[in-house]
Amino acid sequence: MNLQDKVVVITGGASGLGKATAEYLVAEKGAKVALFDLNEDAGNATVAELGEDKAIFCQTDVTSEESIDAAIAAVMDKFGAIHGDVNAAGIPLPCKILDKEGIASSLKKYATVINVNLCGVFNVMAKCAEQMAKNEPDEKGERGVIINISSGAAFEGQIGQSAYSGSKAGVNGMNIPAARELARYGIRVNSIAPGLFGTPMVKSLGEKVVNSLVEMCEAPKRMGEMEEFAHTCSFLFENGYMNGRIVRLDGATVMQAK
State the pLDDT confidence band at 175, using cuts at 50, 70 and 90.
very high
Spatial separation of the C-alpha atoms in residues 108 and 114, rounded to whole Å: 10
pLDDT of residue 256: 87
pLDDT at 205 over 80: no
Instruction: Give pLDDT, residue 170.
Output: 98
Cis ω before 137 (30° cut-off from 0): no
Give the per-residue pLDDT at 202: 80
Mean pLDDT score of the chain, rounded to an integer?
A: 96
Question: In angstroms, what CA-CA distances link 232 with 38, 65, 162, 184, 239?
Answer: 25, 29, 27, 25, 10
Yes or no: say if 250 and 168 are a contact pair by the CB < 8 Å rule. no
Domain membership flag for residue 101? yes
Region 11-17 average pLDDT: 97
Report whether 21 contacts 93 (CB < 8 A): no
Q: How far apart are CA 101 and CA 42, in angstroms?
A: 40
**Res. 21: pLDDT tops 80:** yes
End-to-end CA distance of the chain: 40
The string of pLDDT tens digits covering residues 97-151 is: 999 999 999 999 999 999 999 999 999 999 999 999 999 999 999 999 999 999 9
Kindly report the number of other CB atoms within 10 A of residue 199's CB atom.
20
In this structure, is residue 210 part of a structural domain?
Answer: no
Q: How many angstroms separate the CA atoms of 108 and 220, rounded?
A: 38
Say if 96 falls within a structural domain.
yes
Do residues 148 and 174 touch, judged by C-beta distance below 8 A?
yes
* H or E element at residue 33: strand 32-37
Q: Say if 215 falls within a structural domain.
A: no
Q: Which range has the worst mean pLDDT, 66-75, 115-124, 192-201, 231-240?
A: 192-201
Give strand ranges (E) for 102-249: 144-149, 187-194, 246-249
Q: Is the pLDDT of residue 204 over 80?
A: no
Residue 230 lies in a domain: yes
pLDDT of residue 148: 98
Q: Return the CATH number at 193.
A: 3.40.50.720
Which whole number is the average pLDDT over 174-187? Answer: 98
Quick one: pLDDT at residue 200? 78
What is the domain extent for residue 143? 7-197+226-247
Q: 214 in a domain, yes or no? A: no
Check whether 201 has a pLDDT greater than 80. Answer: no
24, 110, 164, 185: the catalytic one is 164
| C-alpha to C-alpha distance for 79 and 33, rounded to whole angstroms | 9
Pair 162, 117: CB distance under 8 Å: no
Q: Radius of gyration of the chain from Cα atoms? A: 18
Our count of domains for the chain comes to 1
What is the percentage of the chain residues whose pLDDT exceeds 70? 100
The pLDDT of residue 1 is 97
Distance, CA of 189 to CA of 147 (rounded, Å)? 6
Task: State how far the Cα of 173 lies from the Cα of 167, in Å rounded to an integer.
Answer: 10
Clarify whether 164 is annotated catalytic. yes
The pLDDT-based confidence of 2 (bands split at 50, 70, 90) is: very high
Domain annotation covers residue 220 = no
| Assigned domain for 256 exists | no
> Taking 90 as the threshold, does the pLDDT of residue 258 lie above it?
no
Which band of pLDDT confidence, cut at 50, 70 and 90, is reported for residue 213?
Answer: confident
Tell me, yes or no, if the pTM score tops 0.85: yes
